[in-house]
């Protein structure tokens, strides 16, 4: 899971009148809420989203032109990616470039050195793990040396995406000499600066970057040059839908939740629910904007998935998050998976699977959550939150596995097929419905508890100076989820 997304629109709250509106619009009428919150949010969203769509559509059109005029000019595509990516970063971040530049250059230098001097040697530590250690160390030191916490909060996510790209590149090129031969300074720069995902993500592999803008195999050249009207309309519809979903979640996070919860916010759990939901919807805003950015930059409108439905398929490379799966979770594992799908795949592919064989499943899970935490930098609240989530996912998985074995029931963290032949009690039996509903309620409770510690309108605070209030929301809730976690762990041993 990752929580860096809300850092990008803090500038909306930098204006005193808008900050005041955020603080006081709870007591306003619906007309005043629209005037003081909805309208400013819409102005911000329009300006912010337009940058992503315009630059990425321009990039897509230029790629189509270059691909038509110079079919084999791969260097031109990398150069276009560099120019458009740099322009987008300048438009939406406009500061902190030196952090991005030094991390990108130094990561390439480290990988080049390791490939040149350590390739083929009987080394005990593999090259990717050296790159991980250097990259995370560089990230943490840079954050410590940055004098302005606000500046770092704005670039935190961009640095994280850069590091994820470089680390995946280290793994992919460690043993794949064919892919390594395609890694040049220009191709690396194009991959790192790709406008589709340089700012908000999502992560895509170097191989995906190299192939996503190539004409798909099996498609006639004439068809590639003239995409069908249906495919083009589907592509545009998906871009527009993603943009509208992003705006909707932004308005929900900024304005509607406070307005709707205000009449009953005297109860601490209602306040916690409002904070948590506001945080989650701010994440969905950036997730859908990232999805919109990816599709706007995609020059390939001929994928087989375009033929199936006007909606984006679940298996699509461009899908970032699944709000329904998060808001109505069967298990916390489902929340972790659906919160940020590309990052989940990255952690599973490069961290969990790589460490599972030598260290075992338990250690691999722990290392996965540790690496996920460190990728976010010095964000102590997030470290504790991810540690809690990791503990809960492990305990829930083991308890449900034991219950499924003892009672031969379909109560595992993953849903059993309708024709399950392993368990006697099927998913629609009263026993399974009751058990699954209890875990559903537990996961909703944890979504409230774990999310309320974050504010959608803040980046990570200067937490070293705020240790006393860092876990204030959890203190108000008497650390209920942590006590319940201890009870669940003891229950696991008892049964």
The CA radius of gyration of the chain, in Å to the nearest whole number, is 24
- Name, in order, each residue with C-beta under 8 angstroms of 350's C-beta and a sequence gap of 6 or more: 128, 167, 168, 171
What is the distance between the alpha carbons of residues 159 and 163, in angstroms, rounded to a whole number? 6
Q: Report which DSSP code applies to 28.
A: S
**Count of other CB atoms within 10 angstroms of residue 245:** 18
What is the distance between the alpha carbons of residues 80 and 55, in angstroms, rounded to a whole number? 11
Q: Report which DSSP code applies to 350.
A: I
Supply the angle between the helices 430-451 and 332-339 in degrees, to the nearest 10: 50
Q: Report which DSSP code applies to 395.
A: H
Q: Are 436 and 400 in contact (CB under 8 A)?
A: no
Q: Are 183 and 140 in contact (CB under 8 A)?
A: no
Active site residues per annotation: 376
State the sign of the Cα–Cα–Cα–Cα dihedral 111, 115, 118, 123.
Answer: positive
- DSSP class per residue in 42-100: HHHHHHHHHHHHHHHHHHHHHHHHHHHH-TT-HHHHHHHHHHHHHHHHHHHT-S-HHHH
Q: Are 359 and 367 in contact (CB under 8 A)?
A: yes
- DSSP class per residue in 421-460: SS-SB-TTSHHHHHHHHHHHHHHHHHHHHHHTTS-TT---
């Amino acid at each position: 899971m990752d929580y860096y997304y809300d850092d990008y629109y803090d500038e909306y709250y930098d204006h005193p009148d808008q900050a005041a509106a955020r603080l006081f619009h709870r007591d306003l009428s619906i007309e005043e809420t629209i005037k003081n919150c909805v309208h400013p949010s819409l102005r911000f969203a329009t300006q912010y989203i337009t940058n992503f769509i315009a630059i990425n559509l321009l990039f897509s059109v230029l790629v189509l032109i270059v691909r038509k005029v110079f079919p084999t000019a791969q260097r031109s595509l990398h150069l276009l990616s560099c120019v458009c990516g740099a322009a987008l970063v300048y438009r939406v971040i406009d500061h902190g470039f030196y952090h991005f530049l030094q991390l990108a250059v130094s990561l390439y230098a480290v990988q080049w050195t390791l490939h040149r001097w350590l390739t083929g040697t009987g080394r005990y530590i593999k090259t990717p793990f050296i790159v991980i250690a250097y990259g995370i160390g560089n990230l943490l030191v840079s954050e410590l040396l940055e004098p302005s916490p606000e500046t770092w909060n704005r670039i935190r996510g961009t640095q994280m995406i850069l590091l994820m790209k470089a680390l995946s590149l280290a793994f992919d090129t460690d043993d794949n000499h064919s892919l390594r031969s395609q890694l040049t300074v220009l191709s690396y720069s194009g991959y790192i600066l790709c406008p589709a995902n340089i700012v908000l993500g999502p992560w895509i592999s170097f191989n995906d970057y190299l192939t996503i803008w190539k004409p798909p195999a099996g498609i006639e050249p004439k068809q590639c040059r003239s995409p069908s009207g249906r495919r083009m309309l589907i592509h545009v519809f998906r871009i527009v839908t993603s943009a509208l979903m992003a705006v909707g979640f932004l308005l929900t996070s900024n304005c509607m939740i406070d307005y709707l919860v205000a009449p009953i916010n005297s109860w601490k759990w209602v306040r916690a629910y409002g904070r948590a939901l506001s945080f989650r919807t701010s994440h969905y805003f950036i997730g859908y904007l990232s999805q919109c950015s990816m599709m706007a930059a995609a020059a390939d409108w001929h994928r087989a998935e375009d033929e199936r439905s006007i909606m984006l398929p679940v298996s699509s490379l461009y899908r970032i998050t699944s709000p329904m799966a998060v808001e109505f979770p069967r298990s916390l594992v489902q929340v972790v998976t659906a919160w940020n799908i590309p990052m989940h795949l990255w952690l599973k592919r490069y961290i969990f699977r790589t460490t599972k064989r030598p260290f075992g499943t338990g250690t691999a899970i722990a290392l996965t959550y540790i690496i996920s935490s460190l990728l976010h930098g010095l964000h102590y609240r997030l470290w504790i939150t991810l540690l809690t989530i990791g503990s809960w996912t492990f305990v829930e998985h083991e308890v449900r596995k034991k219950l499924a074995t003892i009672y031969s029931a379909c109560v595992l963290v993953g849903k059993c097929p309708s024709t399950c032949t392993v368990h006697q009690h099927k998913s629609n039996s009263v026993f399974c419905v009751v058990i699954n509903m209890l875990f559903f309620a537990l996961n909703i409770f944890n979504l409230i508890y774990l999310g309320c510690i974050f504010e959608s309108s803040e980046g990570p605070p200067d937490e070293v100076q705020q240790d006393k209030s860092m876990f204030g929301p959890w203190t108000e809730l008497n650390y209920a989820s942590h006590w319940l976690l201890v009870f669940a762990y003891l229950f696991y041993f008892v049964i």
